[in-house]
Structure 1
Amino acid sequence: MTMTHLDTATADRRNYPAPVLLTVEEAARCLRVGRTTCFALIGRGELESLLIGGLRRVPADAPAAYLARRRAERQAA
């Protein structure tokens, strides 16, 4: 999933680079799941995240990596 799919209505894409980190809410929107489900994925270590200060952030490529792993697991089963 690319960042062009992320809803960045408040940012003018011509003037801002693509985000490197997402909030948990943005990552949840990318995955089309709720915030609570996204936090559960993070808590189980299924979705990569990191703390910056007291803020939880998800690398922009982590939702796509999570989906790729899930698809590979499903195909292997």
Structure 2
Amino acid sequence: MSENEYQPFDQLLTVSETAQALRLSRATLYGILSRGDLRSVYIGSRRLIRSSDLAAFIANLSSEAQP
């Protein structure tokens, strides 16, 4: 499956839920989102993060930490 294809059972998380899961402030998370390091989608005016995008972001952090 390509990176841009929708996975039908992704859970959508709010910014607050995502920040809590990462143990970050909402302001820090908005910075990450604005840099494009973590993808998000809009439904109306709500900004949401797919659980698969959050998992990919975390995996990328792990791979960056490895020498």
TM normalised by structure 2 equals: 0.76
| Higher alpha-carbon Rg | 1
Determine helix, strand or coil for the equivalent of 1:51: strand
* Structure 2 residue 58 is matched with structure 1 residue 53: no
**Superposition map of 1:28-67 within 5 A:** 28-67=19-58
Identity over the aligned pairs, expressed in percent?
37
Structure 1 runs of 4+ aligned residues shifted over 3 Å read none
> How far is 1:49 from its partner?
0.3
Question: How many angstroms apart in 1 are the aligned matches of 2:46 and 2:31?
Answer: 16
The root-mean-square deviation of aligned C-alpha atoms, in Å, is 1.7
Look up the match of 1:20: 11
One-letter amino acid matched to 1:49: S
Look up the match of 1:68: 59
Asked if the contact 1:46–1:66 (Cα under 8 Å) also holds between the matched residues in 2, the reply is yes
TM normalised by structure 1 equals: 0.67
Structure 2 CA distance for partners of 1:74 and 1:59, relative to 1, 3 Å: same
Q: Unpaired segments of 5 or more residues in structure 2? A: 1-8
Determine helix, strand or coil for the equivalent of 1:38: helix
1:15-58 deviations in Å (ceiling 9; x for gaps): xxx87100000000111111111111110001110111111000
Determine helix, strand or coil for the equivalent of 1:56: strand
